[in-house]
Structure 1
Amino acid sequence: MKKILNIVLVLTLFSLVFGGCSKFLEEDLRDQIAVDNFFNNDQEALLAVNGLYRILHRPSMYRTRGLDNYYVNGADEVGPSRNVNGEIHNYLINEGVADGDANWAACYEIVRNASLYITNLEGNEKISEEIRNQALGESLFIRALAYFHLTNLWGDVPYFRELLPLDELGSLERYPKDEIRADMKEDLGRAFELLPGTSSGSDLGRATKWAAATLKAKFHLFDKEWAATKTECDRIINDSPHQLLGDFAAVFDQTNPSDQYNDEQIFVVDFTTDGVFGDSGTSRTDDYNPRLRDEPKNRNNRPDGPGTPTRWELLQADLQAIDQDMSGFGWAIPLPELADQSNWDPDDLRYDATIVREYLGYELQFPYFRKNWNLNNTSPRSNHNENYVVFRLADIYLMAAEAENEMNGPGNAYPYVNKVRERAFEPDKPWSGMSQQQFREAMYDERKFELCAEGWRRMDLIRWGILLDVVKNVQHRPWNNPASNIQSYHVLLPVPQDEILLNPNLLNNDPTNNGYR
């Protein structure tokens, strides 16, 4: 396999992976260091693990639309503002066509490097117990995160936990997803014990035990292991320092680069403008930011008569007056039904914090996700400093509610979902009096309104078994037609064509390649 085989045993990756994406990545490696000469002290152990975080900053992961291509697009929340990204959104995916090869490569680079680090960290008495535990815990967590994405997107995938010889790596068959996930749950249980409970100062952005518990809960949820899901969620809710913020909009406030963390965030990928490396900032925000060439509505109209400024010139001047700009790509905008406030409860405060259709007094041509945009010029195009929030506490409450309902019905599930709804409604609108099925179906919408455009919707629809029905019935814009193309096998991606060409054994257990042949 091309990407798995791309091993550089002289760790030139260290010169690539340590840099200014997160506060703890702002260290400079002075030389290239071979594996045999590494892991001799605490600093080297942390530098190695920083390399795993660095891969999370790749465009194929969290930096740009990377993972969002397959977690956000192709559902009922997000679509492009024009005829772009059609292969993915319109389900024109095939071997060699939007098959996620870059995502596959990045995930296996994490697996490969993390496995190497774990081997070198285990029992290494050159490293202090505290740092050894932290580095091991982080390596276990980030490797599990990679296998989470691999098994979500491709199902059965090649699997290894120790770095294998090149010929073995290059001939691996696909391994049962359920067995991979079982191992990852065990690893995350161990990571929970090893990792610290909090991070602060220069360690902000590093994984804590609560990140490990959340990822473990996600594995259990996706595998419909309701009791285990509930156990992990309760542990996070009851024992972690994380709390729901009182203001929904504040959860996503990224306007102050020096104050971008909050108590609701459990794990984030931290991007920094103008870091040491050119990809230190994120360009994902640009997908959610408007293009001024599109805005506002009736942009060429001159409201004050002939010879006076157009509406777009007036909007630009008003933006510049508050040091803002609309310099994004506009690729990721709400689909019409989500943007229509009549499809939300009229008292749901999350609508205005999530969707924007008017700005600075100008009606916009398209709706946008207010929760994901940032127009400040201090966060420039393709170099934004926002945190990508991977896990947050409100999701944990909703997961606990769903698990409790599936086990025992809604009676004891109400307090979890109502805790999230307390800040969402004024006056409060708690749930009550539902059957188990009514609660289950209400959760379909509750997770959409609370978590939309955060990377969970498509996998939620898949695990509920309703992706095809939803995609076929939701309204899309004229340039998109996913309803005409989506098939049952689209719940997974095909194993990338380049990988199959190098390793035909990937088809041994499934000659159909997830139904694409």
Structure 2
Amino acid sequence: MKLSTSIRKIFALALIGVSALAQSCTDYFLAIEPIESVSDNVVIVDEATAETAILGVYNQLQDRLYYGGDGFAATAYLSGGDHIWVGTLNYYNAFPSHTYRPDNTLLDNVWSQIFTVINGANNVIEKVESLSGESISEEKRNLFVGEAYFIRALAYFDLGRAWGNVPVVLEPTRAPNDFSGIKQSNQKDVFQQVLQDLDKAESLLPETLDRNRVTKKTVYALKARVHLYNEDWEEAVTYSTHIIQDSSYELVTWPTILSNLNTRESIFELAFSAVDQSSHFGSWSSIDYRNQFAPGLEIYAYLQDATEAGDRTRLIEDNSSAAIRNYFVQKLYWRATGENPTYVLRLGEQYLIRAEASLKKLNPDAEQALADINAVRARANASLYHEFLSNEELVEAIEKERRLEFPLEPHRWFDLVRTKRAGEVLGVTNNNLWLFPIPFNDLEVDDDLVQNPGYN
């Protein structure tokens, strides 16, 4: 059930709904028997129920309204100017035109879903940490709590970059009046909390490799991204380098990415199956039917320059006909049985993070930036840049490369906002629109919430 109520009501009604959360995620992760109905005070009582609970949080992370399909990701795809809405729900069409309002249904649902994930993580953190040594091993305690800290960090990072000013709640909520008086934190403070959570996760998680669950390596990758947004250039270089130099990861070819799961490119990839399907495949238009959203003509044309795009021309296919013009379909989420991957973090981004941070740090390193851009382009069989590029030209090249590299991943809108380029590139000159409005339903019932500037 998707809730469109206040944060506190969301929290109160989302007390680790183990039955619904566990059944779909355990198909992939572990064959744990689902718990049908457990009250909040006993839901996590030992190692088995602790693992069921954290898997439930993963499952909420890959819900269609968050990373699983047409929710949070759709707000970014459609706001970034490269994709069009061809469905029937008008509240999606507000994003290409940047006419979203506080009563937008999609924003309300996405906000609710992300806070559901946060409350799930808060429950795991509190309850697993308090389990006795007889009921759970220290290794598993650290693993599950570390995973919860990471997921909470990711959720608050996404709230911070989408809404800017959000309430930060770090304990599970059991009643609607819990945490009355909590005011919104500004984006800078939200990102600071994200880094604190990532520090905690890093201290608890193992230095192992898992492309579908969180480890210390996953923390490094997200830290690199957060530091980029914070303009902490040296730290962004440090953490992206941790991943780039790790032999577990490799820039694989685009045909490999498009035809496989869990390649060496993946740092954190959400896993789906034929019975636990991704909503991405069914949300995008396909060669069989025109669905909710689709690549636009401009991004299709942008990727057709093989010199610049290389193998990335494969990402979008022209399915136009005499009856339907400009009918373009994506190929990243193509798996017909719905088990396509969803990339939260992958290696190509780490190279481009390091390239940008290398150029913008106090002592710019253009040579490193050029090498990193060219590594991504070489993997795609695109033409390489040469040393005569100025630093300004390299900055432009990185923006262009991110557009070529992530046309089907939710980066472009947030890239243009964080670099203050959304006005020049997209014509969104009212920078109040660079943050989404706080949902009306929450404002109505929560006196502690204040609307973002520019929205009635």
- TM-score normalised to the size of structure 2? 0.89
Aligned with 2:149: secondary structure?
helix
Letter in 1 for 2:368: N
In the other structure, the counterpart of 2:452 is 513
The offset of 1:63, in angstroms, is: 2.5
The structure whose RCO (Cα within 8 Å, separation 6+) is larger is 1
Letter in 2 for 1:244: L
Which of 428, 437, 444 in structure 2 is aligned with 1:501? 444
CA distance in 1 between counterparts of 2:299 and 2:373 reads 21
Aligned with 2:270: secondary structure?
strand
The offset of 1:11, in angstroms, is: 5.1
- 5 Å-filtered alignment, 1:101-500, equals 101-122=108-129, 124=131, 125=133, 126-163=135-172, 166-199=176-209, 205-239=212-246, 241-245=248-252, 247-254=253-260, 260-274=261-275, 280-290=276-286, 326-327=288-289, 329=291, 331-340=292-301, 344=305, 346=307, 348-357=309-318, 365-374=325-334, 376=336, 379=337, 384-407=338-361, 408-425=364-381, 428-472=383-427, 487-500=430-443
8 Å contact from structure 1 (residues 355, 370) kept in 2 = yes
Q: 1:10 to 1:215 in 2, by over 3 A?
A: closer
The offset of 1:150, in angstroms, is: 0.8
The offset of 1:358, in angstroms, is: 5.7
CA distance in 1 between counterparts of 2:127 and 2:156 reads 20
Structure 1 unaligned blocks of 5 or more: 255-259, 275-279, 292-325, 473-482
Which of 25, 34, 48 in structure 1 is aligned with 2:53? 48
The offset of 1:44, in angstroms, is: 1.5
Letter in 2 for 1:55: Q
- TM-score normalised to the size of structure 1? 0.79
Aligned with 2:202: secondary structure?
helix
The offset of 1:268, in angstroms, is: 1.6
Which of 17, 20, 25 in structure 2 is aligned with 1:13? 17
Please report the RMSD computed on the Cα atoms of aligned residues, expressed in angstroms: 2.7
Letter in 2 for 1:285: F
The offset of 1:138, in angstroms, is: 0.5
Letter in 2 for 1:515: G
Letter in 1 for 2:218: A
8 Å contact from structure 1 (residues 11, 32) kept in 2 = no
Q: Structure 1, residues 380-406: CA drift from partner, whole Å, max 9, x if none?
A: xxxx12111111101100100100011
Q: 1:193 to 1:368 in 2, by over 3 A?
A: farther
Percent identity over paired residues: 23
Q: 1:154 to 1:7 in 2, by over 3 A?
A: closer
Q: Structure 1, residues 382-437: CA drift from partner, whole Å, max 9, x if none?
A: xx1211111110110010010001111412222211111112226x5244222211
Q: 1:123 to 1:14 in 2, by over 3 A?
A: closer
Moved more, 12-21 or 152-161: 12-21
Q: Which has the larger radius of gyration?
A: 1
8 Å contact from structure 1 (residues 494, 513) kept in 2 = yes
Moved more, 134-143 or 72-81: 72-81
Is 1:61–2:66 an aligned residue pair?
Answer: yes
Moved more, 389-398 or 83-92: 83-92
The offset of 1:189, in angstroms, is: 2.1
The offset of 1:123, in angstroms, is: 5.5
Letter in 1 for 2:357: A
Q: 1:167 to 1:335 in 2, by over 3 A?
A: same
CA distance in 1 between counterparts of 2:394 and 2:23 reads 46
In the other structure, the counterpart of 2:44 is 39
Aligned with 2:95: secondary structure?
helix
Letter in 2 for 1:273: A
8 Å contact from structure 1 (residues 286, 373) kept in 2 = no
CA distance in 2 between counterparts of 1:96 and 1:170 reads 23
